[in-house]
Structure 1
């Protein structure tokens, strides 16, 4: 079954609008994990507009104390600050993204051909430190050969265009076909496939029904939008139901 990692950035962004400790990221992570999430994802950006280094440390402590079989996935651009943090917190997975610090959110994958040497160096260092590595990737089948050459363990396919086509069935089908082709190419090179960005409950079901081999989806924005209506526990269960659609 496709696993679910809950991205907590939205909750942190809401918390940071006031000088108050709520919503409490640790409480929300605990609810998600108690209801079946395989792990939590954070993206501590340099400007600290949502999750901060202390949040990442607190989540590591939560997992160590209460959920030792679950995973902490830390996303970010591989600058010195980020690499030091993922090493400190013993991130189970490190997801490298090509974000400019000014970006509102991740909106494109790596140019693996152009940046292969830099990525191969960073990936090698991270793997030597005991981290599993995933690289954020556009759904471009032709890029997967170059992605594999970096030594990464897996790729996370950017599903933003697919998720954004919720009201346009022809565009949605075209984007889903691109994701299928990219996943097929990645797996042919021995890479496991993750996916994430703008995935709703329905979109997740469509995705994993076409690509049942997706190892994990990382979901934040749409999940927290649903949680306003259904509550965190029920929302996680709803997403897990969609993740199970691809089970053979």
Structure 2
């Protein structure tokens, strides 16, 4: 089954936040994306609210519940107490935990599972007790011991950090090597019983090779490249293009 597409709304929110105005509408474009067949919406509410604001979360929850009840809400972020309270109030179907420093421009590495074993075990348990699926951001290099820790702390999924793959847009040979590395990591994760998501700098051009190498890929979360394409093609057509790149029939 082709991967589900979750549209990351952070870049839209960042554009909105340049002015004290309500447009572009985060929920409005989320509605367009879901109407075009996206499987869900992703946000990353950072502590400084420079992208999605805390006040955006409840309207997105309502949008999904009232208009697209089969879609999923995915909230990603570093699991400090403030983030966990936001998540518990917003009731997403999935939380993706990332090891970001608040000052980072964007997520750029996966968890050190060995160092954070106890921290993740406590937090994953707290979220799963509330019925939330948990995905952990993971580097693409194969490391069975690290992935075993992700499983042992109770995670349901990992999300492969695909930034280095996206960065090879002008180096096809390097891209092939990285997608194979990502594929081996996915193979290990699946063998351990973890489902696999992927995200960061994925595009219409590079998604097909990733989807072929990881045929059981559960979900891709895409923001920057998708928003850039939406400026050219419009949100609805862009979502359809990305869905086709995932292997979905559109």
Q: TM-score range by the shorter chain?
A: over 0.9
SS at match of 1:135: strand
CA–CA distance in structure 2, aligned partners of residues 105 and 43 of structure 1: 10
Does residue 144 of the first structure (1) align with residue 152 of the second (2)?
Answer: no
Segments of structure 1 that go 5 or more residues without pairing to the other structure are: none
Contact 1:141 1:186 in 2 (8 A): no
CA–CA distance in structure 2, aligned partners of residues 231 and 67 of structure 1: 20
TM-score by length of 2: 0.97
The one-character-per-residue Cα deviations of 1:34-59 (angstroms, maximum 9, x if unpaired) are: 01000000000000001011111110
Partner residue of 1:29? 30
The one-character-per-residue Cα deviations of 1:78-121 (angstroms, maximum 9, x if unpaired) are: 01111001110111101100000000000000001111111011
Partner residue of 2:238? 235
SS at match of 1:155: strand
Contact 1:164 1:198 in 2 (8 A): yes
**Aligned partner (choices 205, 208, 211) of residue 208 of structure 1:** 211
Segments of structure 2 that go 5 or more residues without pairing to the other structure are: none
The one-character-per-residue Cα deviations of 1:5-49 (angstroms, maximum 9, x if unpaired) are: 000000000000111111001110000000100000000000000
Partner residue of 2:12? 11
The one-character-per-residue Cα deviations of 1:123-144 (angstroms, maximum 9, x if unpaired) are: 0110001100000000122121
CA–CA distance in structure 1, aligned partners of residues 89 and 141 of structure 2: 33
The one-character-per-residue Cα deviations of 1:60-87 (angstroms, maximum 9, x if unpaired) are: 0111111111110000100111100111
CA–CA distance in structure 2, aligned partners of residues 178 and 206 of structure 1: 12
Q: How does 1:86-165 map to 2 (within 5 A)?
A: 86-142=87-143, 143-165=146-168
Contact 1:156 1:196 in 2 (8 A): yes
TM-score by length of 1: 0.97
Partner residue of 1:82? 83
SS at match of 1:141: coil
SS at match of 1:136: strand
Size of the aligned set, in residue pairs, is 246
Contact 1:136 1:156 in 2 (8 A): yes
Contact 1:134 1:155 in 2 (8 A): yes
Provide the alpha-carbon RMSD of the alignment: 1.0
Which deviates more from structure 2 when the two are superposed, residues 169-178 or residues 4-13? 169-178
Partner residue of 2:192? 189
- TM-fit CA distance, 1:228: 0.7
Contact 1:5 1:218 in 2 (8 A): yes
Task: Show structure 1 runs of 4+ deviating over 6 A.
Answer: none
Does residue 217 of the first structure (1) align with residue 220 of the second (2)?
Answer: yes
Which deviates more from structure 2 when the two are superposed, residues 171-180 or residues 34-43? 171-180
SS at match of 1:207: helix
Which deviates more from structure 2 when the two are superposed, residues 10-19 or residues 166-175? 166-175
SS at match of 1:6: strand
Contact 1:74 1:94 in 2 (8 A): yes
